[in-house]
Amino acid sequence: MNRKPGDWDCRSCQHLNFSRRDSCQRCGEPRSGDLNEYASFGGGRGGSSFGFGGSDVRPGD
């Protein structure tokens, strides 16, 4: 099977998926690497919904 631009490998099972898929065809693992997936992490307020946020936490940690 030929890889086309935008096709992606599942991080869990390494199955080659078409670019149109949001999750792996084989195992159902969500597609990783999308900006929207990471932009919503932590609520976009610089904090975290997991209770972390002490003074020793710096951007990028």
Give 1-35's CATH code, choosing from 1.20.1070, 2.60.40, 1.20.120, 2.30.30. 2.30.30
Q: Is the dihedral of CA 37, 40, 42, 47 positive or negative?
A: positive
**Does pTM surpass 0.85?**
no
Per-block mean pLDDT, blocks of 10 residues, the chain (61 long): 93 97 97 55 45 58 61
pLDDT at position 45, please?
44
Q: DSSP for 5-59?
A: TT-EE-TTT--EE-TT-SB-TTT-PBP---HHHHHTGGGGSSS-TTS---TT--T
pLDDT, position 21: 98
Q: What is the pLDDT of residue 57?
A: 64
- Please report the pLDDT score of residue 22 as a whole number: 97
